[in-house]
């Protein structure tokens, strides 16, 4: 049976070159980077090289990058770390209603600790309004956190414009959750006017359990851990050297192929979108019809249940998601679709397709054919 993996926003298959790099470091360069002997020095050199490569991808200084365990930890560090270090200047945080749970739940925890959080609305495409951001900024705002690409619907936020507004109108720090954007679309050159940025390895064909936080030089954030001083005490703990080496290879490949992979994914996504919307009745696009992420497509199949459709597709070797993987075990409605003003039928029947550049047009045609058949069958059994 053909296998069509369309859940790349949940996680990706590690590339052959990244997994070779991981294996090589695990078996040959297994020293602890803090050890003073040659094995330690070898491991330390690997980290230094990886930091340099990733800094070049972002156009920032290697000293501004800190390795973490992934996007969730980078987001926690960015938001809690700046809130704790800045709370004497103010206790107001701004974010949006469509952030990943690793941002929203951190903000909710800070609210319990006395911080005030403003959640910006989004329009029906899932995009925030810059006027709302401008009017939400106050003299007490210490942090704005906005994701670059939404993981459920693929809306792209106006990060560069937001950065300019924040810097011109406040003293706030600006954090960007770039987990779905890094290696997929060009980021703001040199991360201008961005103070903190989160990256994860497993979304770009790198290993799980490795990520990066960018912290602009001279930005002070509190560490959330106490330990042996690694990563300048921002993220103490023995470094995940194999993961770091794998992330380096994955990041290098993603940046070398950025335009090519972007165009391939966008072409495939548009074929899938047009095929579904034109050939299957009662389907609704959730997210921008133009200008969205190249790799994320969210469509509601009215009169179906996303979870039933997901399992029906699985029987044909097609793997999709009903929303974000992180929240799919909770039986809650998608907070992203709700914020976009979607109704219960649209939310219930929503499926996220997330693409990689390694798919083929035959994979897409096969998916459309299977969808046509399965949606029809499910609609006979699901009462509207």
Ligand X SMILES: Cc1ncc(COP(=O)(O)O)c(C=O)c1O
Question: Quick check: 211 binds ligand X (CB under 6 A)?
Answer: yes
Q: What is the pattern of x (binds ligand X, CB under 6 A) and - over residues 135-174?
A: ------------x---x-----------------------
- Shortest approach of ligand X to residue 36 CB, angstroms? 32
Total number of residues binding ligand X (CB under 6 A)? Answer: 16
CA distances for 111 relative to 12, 27, 74, 382, 384, angstroms: 34, 45, 19, 40, 39
By beta carbon distance, the residue nearest ligand X is: 71
Residue 102 lies near ligand X (rule: CB under 6 A): yes
Residue from 15, 141, 157, 200 in contact with ligand X (CB under 6 A): 200
**Measured between alpha carbons, how far is 251 from 153 in angstroms, rounded to an integer?**
23
Following CA atoms 299, 300, 301, 307 in sequence, which dihedral angle do they give, to the nearest 10 degrees? 100
Residues annotated as catalytic are: 326
Closest CB 215 distance from ligand X, rounded Å:
17
DSSP state of 7: B
SS3 of residue 277 by DSSP: helix
Question: CA–CA distance from 208 to each of 12, 37, 47, 278, 300 (Å)?
Answer: 9, 29, 17, 37, 30
Q: What is the DSSP letter of 9?
A: T
Name the one residue in this structure whose structure tokens are 């859940």: 7
Is residue 98 within the footprint of ligand X (CB under 6 A)? no
Minimum distance from CB of 201 to ligand X (Å)?
A: 7
Q: Which range touches ligand X (CB under 6 A), out of 50-58, 177-185, 247-255, 291-299?
A: 177-185
Least distance to ligand X from the beta carbon of 153, Å?
11
Residue 70 touching ligand X (CB under 6 A): yes
Examine residue 354 and tell whether it contacts ligand X (CB under 6 A). Answer: no
In Å, how far are 4, 70, 234, 353 from 295, measured between CA atoms? 14, 20, 32, 8
Footprint on residues 317-336 left by ligand X (CB under 6 A) = 324, 326
Contact 193, 163 (CB under 8 A): yes
Q: What whole-number distance in Å separates Cα of residue 303 and Cα of residue 238?
A: 51
> Minimal distance in Å, beta carbon 147 to ligand X?
5
User: Cα–Cα distance between 81 and 183 in angstroms, integer?
Assistant: 25
User: Which residue's CB is nearer to ligand X, number 91 or number 176?
Assistant: 176
Q: Does 179 bind ligand X (CB under 6 A)?
A: yes
Residues forming the site for ligand X (CB under 6 A):
70-72, 75, 100, 102, 147, 151, 177, 179-180, 200, 202, 211, 324, 326
């Amino acid at each position: 049976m053909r296998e069509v993996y369309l859940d790349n926003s949940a996680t990706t298959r590690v590339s052959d070159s990244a997994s070779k790099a991981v294996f090589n470091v695990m078996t040959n360069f297994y020293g602890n980077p803090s050890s003073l002997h040659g094995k330690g020095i070898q491991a330390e050199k690997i980290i230094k090289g990886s930091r340099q490569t990733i800094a070049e991808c972002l156009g920032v200084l290697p000293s501004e990058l800190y390795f973490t365990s992934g996007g969730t930890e980078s987001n926690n560090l960015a938001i809690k770390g700046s809130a704790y270090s800045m709370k004497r200047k103010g206790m107001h945080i701004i974010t949006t209603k469509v952030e990943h749970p690793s941002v929203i739940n951190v903000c909710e925890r800070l609210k319990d600790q006395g911080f005030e959080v403003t959640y910006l609305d989004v329009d029906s495409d899932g995009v925030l309004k810059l006027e709302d951001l401008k009017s939400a900024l106050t003299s007490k705002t210490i942090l704005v956190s906005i994701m670059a690409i939404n993981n459920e619907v693929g809306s792209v936020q106006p990060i560069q414009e937001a950065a300019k507004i924040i810097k011109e109108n406040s003293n706030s720090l600006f954090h960007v959750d770039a987990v779905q954007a890094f290696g997929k679309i060009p980021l703001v050159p040199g991360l201008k006017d961005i103070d903190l940025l989160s990256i994860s390895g497993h979304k770009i064909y790198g290993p799980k359990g490795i990520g990066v936080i960018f912290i602009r030089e001279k930005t002070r954030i509190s560490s959330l851990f106490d330990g042996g001083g690694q990563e300048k005490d921002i993220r103490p703990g023995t470094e995940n050297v194999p993961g770091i080496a794998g992330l380096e290879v994955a990041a290098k490949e993603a940046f070398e192929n950025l335009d090519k992979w972007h165009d391939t994914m966008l072409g495939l996504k548009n074929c899938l979108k047009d095929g579904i919307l034109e050939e299957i009745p009662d389907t609704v696009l959730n997210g921008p019809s133009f200008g969205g992420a190249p790799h994320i497509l969210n469509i509601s199949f009215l009169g179906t249940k996303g979870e039933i459709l997901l399992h029906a597709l699985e029987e044909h070797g097609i793997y999709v998601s009903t929303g974000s993987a992180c929240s799919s075990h909770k039986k809650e409605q998608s907070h992203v679709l709700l914020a976009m003003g979607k109704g219960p039928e649209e939310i219930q029947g929503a499926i996220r397709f997330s693409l990689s550049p390694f798919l083929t047009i035959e994979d897409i045609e096969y998916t459309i054919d299977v969808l046509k058949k399965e949606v029809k069958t499910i609609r006979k059994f699901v009462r509207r």
